[in-house]
A and B are shown apart, each in its own frame.
Chain A
Amino acid sequence: MDLYQPYTARNHGLALVPEPGDRAGGLAPWSGHPRIAVYTGGGSSHSWLWLVEIFERLGFWDLVFADEIDVARGALDQVQVLAVSGGDTFGMARALGPRGAAGLESFLRAGGLYLGSCAGAYLPLNSSKEPLNLFNWVPAKITNLSRHLPRARQMPQKFCTPYGCSYVFHPVREETVLEPTGLAPFGVGQSLRAPLYGGPAMIASGEVEVLATYQGFSERTRFLVDPELARQTLLGRAAVIRSRLGRGCLYLFGPHFEHPGYAEANRLVAEAIYHDLARTGWPGRQAAAAEVPRPLEPGVLRDLRRQVSNARVVALGLEDHPARWRIGRKLYEPAKFRVFCEALWQRLRSRRGALPLAGDPEAVEALTAAWRAIAEGLRALKRELALEQDTQARAEALFSAINRATADFMDIYFRNAYRRLTAPAPFRPDPAPGRRLPTGDRQRRQA
């Protein structure tokens, strides 16, 4: 059964509901298609692409991509939801800084919805450490914090992060089993699974609601510490919490509910959005421009495909290289380059039919230039690695560039997708613009 289809249908229907426009400052339950900002700025890792993937599957196509500069410039004034995935919490806090924190708080107090997973979940938890203390909005503690670092059973480079005189350690990686507590919008249901890649286990206080707890492990769980310590640290602790700030609301997910391999968890992300937007409302949104984008010249699109493909070829060639780079507090491996390349490629590979990009050739040409530089940079990186040279600076610059160029692409892609969705009927796209639909046996099985 396709768990996403009902949500796609609902969201595409909502996109055709007239926008509420100016409601003279009055708050009413939001009933339209929400505009969602995905944080792609400093400190974020590749996992924001998981948010993109599931939002696309769920039919939330009114996506914008915001880095710390966008947040400081008021990008959140135009959205109902901010989604922040994994990465380096300290890096995010540092990048956002006081202006970003103020913008975020203002967004929340006015009724915005925050969805944070992993690093995005740590960020708004109360903390005494700078610059995390700029974001002290949720009174919950984490249980995976220790003054005495436990012994790592595996992945010693990934199992802990220094936190003042203590350590945030990660008892397990990969799949965890979670149990909903019965509170809306998760309700009472069967246990579900979602992967944990360093996210918190929490103890809530005050009015914070616990929506799901860690119930157990599975055959896919990798224990990074002694299993008994992992049980003590995680089981029965909060995996997902909800907290209020002003009129707004924060959902903090320890595990990655947005991981595209976990449809049931993805579904709950959608339920969270519906539930709290209906409760809080949001008056600030401007109506989107509704013109139908013009198709691009085939050559413009081919140039972009050429450069992304060139980068993809090198990224694949780099994939198994043992190099590692520490950027901020996160360890990056070469395989991460390919994750970005593939996210673009799967949206670019269709040559015919519904074009995923349209409308703004200059923006696409700028994107092409950025990807040309990335391809060249990756080739240079590979040559330097072969010569055993120091590649730290180049790798940092490349991760930053590929993250930015991917966000720029997604911005264009979803702007066009949403415009086409809200365009007059003849211009509406297939269910997934530019993506190849299941065919043959696969399609029949899904049916």
Chain B
Amino acid sequence: MEFLSSDNVGVLDLATGEVSEDELAEDLVAEKIGGAAINAYLYEQHQDADPVVLGSGLLTGTLVPGTSLGLMSAKSPLTGALCHVPIVQYAGMELKYSGFDYLVLRGKAPEPSLVWIHDGIADVEPAGDLWGQDVWQTVDAIRSNMGDEMIQVLAVGPAAERGSSLAAVMNNFWPGADRFALGKALAERNIKAIAIRGMGLLEVAEDEDFVERCVELLAKVKEGAWAGKQGFADLAEAMGRPEAGGWLQPLIHRSRASFNVPFAYNSFAMIEGDPSVLTEPDIDEPGVLVSDPLGAMALQELGLGAAEAAGLLRDCAKDGLDAANLAALCQAQGKTDAAAISAALADIDGEVAAPSGPFSPWAPAQPLLADFGESGDAWWQRRQAVAYIMGLDPIFALMSPELSEEVLVEMAALGTELDITAETLDQAVSSLLG
């Protein structure tokens, strides 16, 4: 596969550290396009080893607006079925440029390990010293040891090590999009973290036309109803939850976008310090990035104050817990005292409602600040499937009707010179939705 690709599919045996590599076949891309559809294909190919598959969308890391998405696909400990967890913020893009289009992790490492992915190299390195560390300590240690702050770390925390069903994969220091307890799945394989650095290059087939079209698309999407809006509060309002926006807003320090996503929906909540002061605070850990908006809203529904919820989000980020599932469990168990919940984090576990499909309910189940002409679960599932195949941020996908299936197919064909059509996409979506 010559374009939009490293032309490399790796298979890493966690038990031995051996890697085999193969080219990414054009036929496969012409049939499945990419992202979750190819992850699912590889999962089936290696199902005997209960694999974890990492991959990125066909358009991930390009100039097509919103294309930041990587994916981790594996059998969910919650559903027992194949699921796809978005790798968001900057990690998906780094994965795309890491020298692997897809990487299959087979088996189980013999000891606590770090998977280190860079420049087409995938190493299993001992990480016994990281086992027992919280997520933030783990990220700091990996970046310090490897010598680069740009390294993206998908880590699990103590929650995963103790086998919690609430254990999620974190995205560097912050919550990711894992509602399927893949944190637990990684820990079961002795994987403490997956560190990724992407310094590769991608070739684009019709490069000038592709870039020109991307510039047009960016101008067009920026005219969307979300123009001039940003952050948690505007997102909450778009979801019909303005009270949640108002609840957290006094703590919001700044908002930050994921790679190439025009809408900055990640907001930093300052717990200690004055959020109105934009200079770097002296405090080491002043707050938390609210990168899981529904998780924050779930804590609000417990009746917590904004600062209490933000503090709990921070605790969850360190412990590697899914805040939304934690809140659901606390709700069910009648726990509504933030301090008590925080003190008992290690003991809170239980059965949580499993997502109904293969896609993470981290993305709100509705159009956001946009009119797609339809809505509902079937629409959401299809829109997520398209996003997961092409590499579009799953939240931004809900606010950008300009990035229609037709447009994304056009960009895929332009970028690869492959005969990718609406019918191809339809079939790839069907392969995910069944």
Task: List residues of chain A with CB under 8 Å of any chain B CB.
Answer: 302, 305-306, 309-310, 312-314, 316-318, 345, 349, 351-352, 378-379, 382-383, 386, 439-442
Contacts and interface: CB of A to CB of B under 8 A. Distances in A.
A383 to B, nearest CB: 6
A441 B119 CA distance: 25
Contacts of B151: 313
A351 B203 contact: no
B3 A305 contact: no
Contacts of B8: 351
A440 B149 contact: no
B142 to A, nearest CB: 12
A306 B207 CA distance: 30
Nearest to A314: B147
A317 B150 contact: yes
B151, B197, B417: residue with the most chain A Cβ atoms closer than 10 Å = B197
Contact of B3 (A312, A379, A383, A440): A440
B206 A314 contact: no
A314 B147 CA distance: 5
A265 B148 CA distance: 37
Interface in B168-205: 197, 199, 203-205
Contact of A313 (B19, B21, B199, B207): B199
A374 to B, nearest CB: 12
A313 to B, nearest CB: 5
Describe A's contact surface by its main secondary structure: helix
B206 A440 contact: yes
A305 B148 contact: no
A317 B148 CA distance: 5
A313 B121 contact: no
A383 B144 CA distance: 7
Contacts of B203: 439-440, 442
Interface in B1-51: 2-3, 8, 19, 21, 23
A106 B23 CA distance: 53
A313, A349, A382: residue with the most chain B Cβ atoms closer than 10 Å = A313
22 contacts: A302-B121, A305-B119, A305-B120, A309-B120, A310-B118, A313-B119, A313-B148, A313-B151, A313-B197, A314-B148, A317-B148, A317-B149, A345-B119, A349-B119, A349-B120, A379-B145, A379-B146, A439-B203, A440-B204, A440-B207, A441-B205, A441-B208
Contacts of B234: none
B121 A309 contact: yes
A305 B3 CA distance: 23
B146 A441 contact: no
Interface residues of B, number: 28
B209 to A, nearest CB: 9
Nearest to A311: B147
B134 interface: no
Given A302-B121, A313-B148, A379-B147, 4 more contacts: A316-B199, A382-B147, A383-B147, A439-B2
B123 interface: yes
Contact of B147 (A352, A378, A440): A378
A378 B146 CA distance: 10
Contacts of B3: 440
B118 A313 contact: yes
A377 B383 CA distance: 48
Contacts of B205: 440-441
A314 B123 CA distance: 17
Contacts of A310: 118, 146
B21, B119, B145, B197: residue with the most chain A Cβ atoms closer than 10 Å = B119
Shortest beta-carbon contacts, A-B, top 8: A317-B148, A314-B147, A309-B119, A379-B147, A382-B147, A306-B121, A313-B148, A441-B207
B95 to A, nearest CB: 15
Contacts of B123: 306
Given A305-B121, A309-B119, A351 B147 contact: no
Interface in B266-289: none
Interface string B119-162: 11101000000000000000000001111111100000000000
A352 B2 CA distance: 13
Interface string B197-223: 101000111111000000000000000
Contact of A312 (B23, B144, B199, B208): B199
Given A313-B146, A379-B147, A441 B118 contact: no
A39 to B, nearest CB: 30
Nearest to B200: A349
Contacts of B206: 440-441
B61 to A, nearest CB: 17
Given A313-B146, A313-B148, A441-B207, A351 B199 contact: no
A139 B118 CA distance: 53
Interface in B376-434: 417
A305 B118 CA distance: 10
